[in-house]
């Protein structure tokens, strides 16, 4: 099975195959639509206030957009001869600039030209790749509050920057019983399938476009594999869209077995598809920025980004300032909530790929569902393994035959017959009616062999089932169970595999040449179709990226907590594209079980849609605050959440999780709908954060935001976020926060706790806040002892009406 980490290796390797792309993202002087306040003769202001929706139908917006595009064209035509460059996109709504394909020498000419503010070489992005509605309490605790599952997310549009969609999947069908009506506020376009001549939209899907101009210019795009349309040739995009907004109650059937019923978090929400990711190479920032720009222009409410950079952009000094994050800041200014996958670089520190405070960065959890199986040997030993398969006949043991003992010809060993990928290499008469024993080689790691092919080989040869034994594996390798159409099991523990092999050797009689005279080893495979539910859930997944957050590419710590929140992201069932090739074990299937922070982010996007539905006028920051302050730090057994980690010997262990693993904690949808208080913030607050970030380049800031630094927070940790982080605490620092009451009048008591190295106090100790009112409070942190390690704690605001608002606190003391 190809994991997301292996896919990253393939993407990075493809850079050397494809060659360097000469694509640049250029910003120029002049305000984009979203922040243009007037001043250009003949064009009235189009700027929106913070969190106000952009009116895309306005003639003012249309005319000013055309004006900006003509300026882009004029600049290029003035500088370069026709045919020596190719403009790919004009960015007009969120940033003012364009993407262009030209030579490095021409890029230098652009950099020195009057009116040009920045020229950034394009860089690559990659994907950061059911039972969870029940695990999160949606059917009984949240959906009824919005009118039931058939109204959950009604009229909320979620935009997906991903690999497209398979529109014919039942998760995206427009139901006959409750058909979707028009949604006037949304103005998205719908591309037409060139083969069927039918629209990719159907009422549930309200927008479907693809963006590949940068990929084409770079020579990376292959229309035979990537599809020049919104059609999902990968599976990833269909999966993320269904997690957030797939229809409710869709039977999950794979290989003839049903694994429950799937539903999105907001099953009545609409889906807008912006395809900018592709199977073999991921994507290019120029295409992604164009997709984001279009999504906000179209009027999406929520934006899901299960995507992150391959590497830091080379031309920017801080993690928060580049065309990608600047475009998302403008999206948030327009009132769009953004959820982004935190990354899959865990469990290592500073492995995040989502940095900015205006984005909700989502870590991945293992939920309460585990799939296990077992193999019972003829000697009575039971070996644990994994495999979503039916059992062999009860109380009946079958003969085990190893693939290398049933090859038709010794010359076929060059084809790795023990992988069991080619049935024509093995003797059918010797395999039929028995259990085929195969070996897990490096071919499975790189994707040239698959468990699905093993199952197909066993079935073709008439085997009762198969066992795939892992004899050698890199420490820390993680195996995910996968559905199998016949009895089958993967023995992933090397010691258990050795027990199996020793039993087989001892039970198999051979002649003096080593040829088998009699197969005497026996076994039976258990039932792996039913999950086991654990109380020790959620647990932070091993692969989930960890903090601390970084402020620059020297990896210096930022005064901002990331990730923000934890959501289910391991072994998630959701829709798949039959065209999808992202996982060889699910080719041709309609559903897949996939892991990654890619799967965690759409959980948050869908839950944010439910919050937006109940509170339509809340800002993105208020929605983010509601999700964070209501999150859980205890598992279902009411014990502190644990985190998967590597021991010194690289074996899997469980350690107490910290805010660098889960941010504020695991999402609690029901509590997020009624948080009591919110920590609100807007565009000016984010500018203040940028202006006070150490090492910020004010010229760069002006280039990307069109605003000078005339507003400061004093310190970046004074941003009004629902977390507090001081990476370099010297003696005593006081942090300010402002809360707004979104419920009835309530009196809150404020308590604090912190690790022994740092003292913490708050002022006032209690406060009464009326409906819609805001109150300020301070938190003072003092270094008690210098440990050069982070201390963790919290500020808890408990209301007399039952609301609990939790703020995680993280600090490292440097001087007393």
Active-site annotation holder among 162, 287, 298, 557: 162
- Nearest by Cα to 360 from 584, 554, 563, 196: 563
How many C-beta atoms surround the C-beta of residue 800 within 10 A?
12
Strands (DSSP E) found in 236-311? 250-254, 257-262, 270-275, 283-284, 302-305, 307-309
User: Catalytic annotation on 598?
Assistant: yes
| C-alpha–C-alpha distance, residues 3 and 640, integer Å | 29
- Residue pair 599/240 in contact (Cβ under 8 Å)? The answer is yes
162 has catalytic annotation:
yes
Burial environment of residue 45 by CB neighbours within 10 A (0 to 12, 13 to 18, 19 or more): middle
Q: Is 239 helix (H, G, I), strand (E, B) or coil?
A: helix
Q: Any bridge partners for residue 439, and if so which?
A: 469
Which tokens hold the place of 128?
Answer: 């950061």
Q: Which two tokens stand for residue 80?
A: 């370069």
Q: Classify burial at 616, counting beta carbons within 10 Å of its beta carbon; exposed 0-12, middle 13-18, buried 19 or more.
A: exposed
620-629 vs 597-614: helix crossing angle, rounded to 10: 110
Helix 323-333 crosses helix 285-298 at what angle (to 10 degrees)?
Answer: 10
Per-residue tokens: 301: 């409410």
**Which residues on neighbouring strands pair with residue 376, listed in sequence order?**
382, 524
Distances (CA, A) of 267 to 149, 214, 262, 571, 623: 7, 33, 10, 20, 19
In 658-707, where does DSSP find H-type helix? 659-662, 669-672, 683-692, 698-705
Q: Which tokens sit at 778?
A: 């301070």
| Helical ranges in 80-212 per DSSP H | 104-111, 132-135
Given a contact cutoff of 8 angstroms between Cβ atoms, the answer to whether 602 and 238 are in contact is no
Torsion of CA 27, 30, 34, 39, to 10 degrees: 180
Q: Mind spelling out the 3-state secondary structure of 54-103?
A: CCCCCHHHHHHHHHHHHHHHHHHHHHCCCCCCEEEEEECCCCCEEEEECC
Of the residues 210, 236, 666, 803, only one is catalytic, namely 236
Type and span of the H or E element at 732 = strand 732-741
Rounded to whole angstroms, the Cα distance separating 498 from 121 reads 52
Phi/psi at 673 (5° precision)? -70, -20
Query: Around Cβ 695, how many Cβ atoms within 10 Å?
Result: 10
Q: 36: Cβ–Cβ under 8 A, 6 or more apart, which residues?
A: 30, 43, 45, 46, 47, 64
Look up 354 and say whether it is catalytic. no
Query: What CA dihedral angle connects 608, 614, 618 and 622, to 10 degrees?
Result: -50
Give the C-alpha distances (Å, rounded to integers) separating 78 from 104, 498, 760: 18, 72, 61
Q: Strands 382-385, 373-377: parallel, antiparallel or unpaired by DSSP?
A: antiparallel
Distance, CA of 713 to CA of 706 (rounded, Å): 19
* Marked catalytic residue, from 598, 630, 643, 727: 598
Active site residues per annotation: 162, 236, 598
């Amino acid at each position: 099975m190809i994991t997301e980490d292996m896919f990253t290796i393939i993407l990075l390797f493809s850079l050397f195959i494809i060659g360097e792309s000469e694509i640049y993202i250029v910003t120029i002087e002049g305000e984009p639509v979203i922040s243009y306040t007037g001043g250009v003769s003949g064009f009235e202001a189009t700027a929106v206030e913070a969190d106000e929706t952009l009116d895309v139908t306005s003639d003012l917006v249309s005319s000013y957009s055309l004006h900006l595009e003509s300026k882009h064209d004029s600049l290029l035509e003035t500088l370069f001869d026709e045919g020596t460059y190719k403009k790919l996109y004009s960015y007009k709504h969120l940033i003012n600039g364009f993407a262009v394909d030209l030579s490095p020498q021409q890029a230098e000419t652009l950099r020195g030209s009057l009116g040009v503010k920045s020229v950034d070489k394009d860089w690559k992005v990659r994907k950061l790749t059911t039972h969870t509605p029940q695990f999160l309490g949606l059917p009984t605790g949240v959906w009824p509050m919005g009118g039931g599952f058939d109204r959950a997310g009604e009229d909320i549009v979620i935009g997906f920057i991903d690999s497209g969609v398979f529109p014919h999947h039942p998760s995206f069908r427009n139901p006959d019983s409750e058909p979707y009506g028009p949604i006037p506020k949304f103005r998205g376009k719908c591309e037409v399938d060139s083969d069927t001549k039918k629209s990719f939209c159907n009422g549930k899907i309200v927008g479907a476009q693809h963006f590949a101009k940068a990929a084409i210019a770079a020579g990376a795009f292959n229309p035979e594999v990537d599809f020049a349309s919104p059609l999902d040739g990968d599976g990833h995009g269909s999966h993320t869209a269904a997690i957030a907004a797939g229809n409710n109650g869709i039977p999950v059937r794979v290989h003839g077995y049903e694994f429950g019923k799937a539903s999105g978090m907001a099953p009545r929400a609409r889906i807008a598809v912006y395809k900018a990711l592709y199977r073999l190479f991921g994507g290019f920032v120029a295409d992604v920025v164009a997709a984001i720009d279009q999504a906000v222009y179209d009027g999406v409410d929520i934006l899901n980004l299960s995507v992150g950079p391959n590497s830091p952009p080379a031309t920017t000094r801080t993690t928060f300032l580049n065309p990608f994050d600047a475009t998302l800041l403008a999206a948030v200014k327009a009132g769009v909530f953004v959820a982004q996958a935190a990354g899959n670089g865990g469990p290592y520190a500073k492995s995040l790929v989502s940095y900015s405070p205006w984005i909700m960065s989502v870590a991945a959890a293992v939920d309460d569902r585990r799939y296990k199986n077992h193999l019972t040997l003829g000697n009575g030993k039971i070996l644990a393994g994994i495999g979503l398969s039916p059992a062999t006949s009860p109380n009946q043991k079958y003969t085990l035959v190893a693939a290398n003992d049933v090859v038709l010809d010794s010359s076929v060993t060059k084809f790795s017959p023990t992988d069991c990928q080619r049935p024509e290499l093995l003797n059918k008469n010797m395999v039929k009616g028995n259990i085929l024993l195969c070996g897990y080689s490096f071919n499975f790691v790189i994707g040239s062999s698959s468990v699905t092919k093993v199952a197909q080989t066993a079935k073709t040869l008439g085997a009762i089932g198969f066992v795939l034994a892992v004899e050698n594996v890199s420490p820390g390798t993680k195996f995910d169970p996968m559905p199998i159409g016949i009895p089958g099991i993967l023995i992933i523990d090397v010691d258990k595999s050795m027990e199996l092999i020793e039993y087989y050797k001892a039970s198999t009689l051979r002649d003096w040449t080593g040829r088998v005279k009699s197969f005497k080893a026996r076994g039976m495979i258990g039932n792996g179709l039913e999950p086991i539910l654990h109380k020790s859930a959620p647990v932070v997944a091993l692969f989930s990226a960890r903090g601390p957050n970084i402020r620059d590419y020297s990896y210096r710590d930022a005064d901002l907590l990331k990730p923000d929140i934890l959501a289910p992201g391991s072994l998630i069932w959701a829709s798949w594209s039959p065209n999808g090739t992202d996982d060889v074990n699910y080719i041709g299937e309609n559903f897949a079980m996939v892991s990654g922070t890619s799967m965690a982010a759409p959980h948050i996007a869908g839950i944010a849609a439910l919050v937006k539905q109940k509170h339509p006028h809340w800002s993105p920051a208020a929605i983010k605050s509601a999700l964070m302050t209501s999150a859980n730090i205890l598992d279902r057994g009411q014990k502190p959440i644990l985190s998967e980690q590597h021991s010194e010997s690289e074996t899997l262990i469980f350690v107490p999780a910290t805010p660098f693993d889960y941010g504020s904690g695991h999402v609690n949808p029901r509590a997020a709908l009624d948080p009591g208080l919110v920590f609100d913030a807007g565009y000016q607050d984010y500018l203040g954060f940028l202006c006070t970030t150490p090492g910020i380049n004010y010229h760069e800031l002006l280039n990307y935001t069109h605003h000078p630094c005339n507003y400061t927070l004093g310190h970046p940790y004074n941003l009004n976020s629902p977390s507090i982080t001081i990476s370099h605490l010297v003696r005593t620092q006081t942090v300010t926060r402002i809360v707004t009451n979104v419920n009835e009048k309530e009196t809150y008591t404020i308590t604090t706790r912190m690790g022994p190295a740092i003292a913490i106090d708050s002022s006032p100790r209690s406060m009464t806040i009326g409906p819609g009112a805001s109150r300020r409070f301070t938190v003072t942190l003092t270094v008690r002892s210098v440990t050069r390690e982070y201390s963790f704690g919290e500020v808890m605001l408990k209301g007399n009406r039952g609301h609990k608002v939790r703020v995680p606190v993280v600090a490292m003391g440097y001087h007393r």
